[in-house]
A = this chain, B = another copy of it.
Amino acid sequence: MEFWYTEEWTENIRFGVKVTQHVYHQHSDFQQVDVFKSEELGTFLTLDGLMMVNEKDEFVYHDMIVHTPMAVNPNIKKVLVIGGGDGGTVRELTRYPHIEQIDMVEIDELVVRASQEWIPQCASQLDDSRVNLYFEDGVAFCAQAKNATYDLIIVDSTDPIGPGEGLFTTAFYTDCHRILSEQGILVNQNESPYFAHNAKEMQRAHAKLQTIFQVSRVYQAHIPTYPSGHWLFGFASKGLDPIQDAKFAQWNEFGLQTKYYNTDLHVGSFALPTYVLEMLANAK
């Protein structure tokens, strides 16, 4: 007998993972939370039947969403993480001793608790003394936050359907801009260019960010368990350019061991395929 977790990347494309055990299944107020064990990917967590995080490739996503902005401005001290319930983003942030404050705003406490129980590889640093956990709506949290509170905002969200929807709006990005310091950076998971429905969301998010932020760029990574394996991140700032202003020597002096990110790849990740550049240029 075999159990397969099957995700519909589109109506016509499926990605399947052979599962050894379905260890967690709960409906929260916001979504369905499941945890599975598998031989190939280790333990993995899904929300509403979509892969969020697994032990095998989570390093790619978390490296790219954290170390990229940290190399552009290695003096970042105050960080806001929106979403990120699995804890992987916070884990990477806590590796910088000079970061003073990490506020994490996750709407769904159940995601955090499930991750703490089943995926400590990600959630292990959520009890770091610099971390403040808020189980609240990230949109409302940012609307209420004071001007120039953060040096870095990481939008570590689900897709723009369900609880993640508000995190792809102009109102939210405008608040992010307001509560960022002058050297501040916003990084967001920015969907994929490959399948049409993901590409549409990617374009919509980029178009909005571009209107609000002085600098708005997109970079890419190989994340095999997300639809198409071709995933994008947005980088937005009030002026810092992700390559020209990067402090690679300073970042390398931190001596952090990383499995995916390095400063050459940082530069390379902003070099996008022509069809993606065209999609971004035509984004509305």
| A binding-site residues for B, Cβ under 8 Å | 4, 6, 10-18, 38-41, 57, 59-60, 194-195, 220, 222, 224, 228-230, 258-262, 264-265, 267-275, 277
Bound state CA distance, A255 and B133, in angstroms?
Answer: 53
Tell me the smallest distance from the CB of A6 to a CB of chain B, in Å.
8
Hey, which chain B residues are within 8 Å of A265, CB to CB?
271-274
Q: Are B230 and A259 in contact (CB under 8 A)?
A: no
The reply to whether A4 and B10 form a contact with Cβ atoms under 8 Å apart is no
Q: Of the candidates B10, B229, B230, B264, which one forms a contact with A271 in the assembled complex, judged by CB atoms under 8 Å apart?
A: B264
Verify A194–B224 contact, CB threshold 8 A. yes
User: Which chain B residue shows the least CB distance to A219?
Assistant: B268
With the chains together, A237 CA to B13 CA distance in Å?
Answer: 39
> Of residues A11, A16, A259, which shows the largest number of chain B Cβ atoms within 10 Å of its Cβ?
A16
| Given A224-B230, A229-B230, A259-B274, 20 other A-B residues pairs in contact with their CB atoms under 8 A | A4-B14, A12-B18, A12-B39, A13-B15, A14-B16, A15-B16, A16-B16, A40-B195, A57-B194, A60-B273, A222-B222, A258-B274, A260-B273, A260-B274, A261-B274, A265-B271, A267-B271, A268-B268, A268-B270, A269-B271
Q: 20 A-B Cβ contacts within 8 A?
A: A10-B40, A11-B39, A12-B17, A12-B38, A13-B15, A13-B18, A14-B14, A16-B16, A194-B224, A222-B222, A222-B230, A224-B228, A224-B229, A224-B230, A228-B229, A258-B274, A261-B273, A267-B268, A268-B268, A268-B270
